[in-house]
Amino acid sequence: MHAPHIVSMLNSYLGWATAATGFELRQRSFDHQN
């Protein structure tokens, strides 16, 4: 049984989590450089 709305919800959550993690890593490496 396919539930496309759950898949799209998961995809947007994963995209948000990835963006948040990438932002955090960028901030952290920026802090280390200074």
Q: For 5-24, how does the pLDDT look when each residue is reduced to its tens digit (9 = 90+)?
A: 999 999 999 999 999 999 99
* pLDDT of 34 above 90: no
Residue-level pLDDT at 32: 76
Give the torsion sign (CA, 6, 18, 15, 34): positive
* pLDDT of 1 above 70: no
Residue-level pLDDT at 11: 95
Which one is predicted more confidently, 32 or 27?
A: 27
Residue-level pLDDT at 22: 93
What's the CA gap between 14 and 20, in Å, rounded?
10
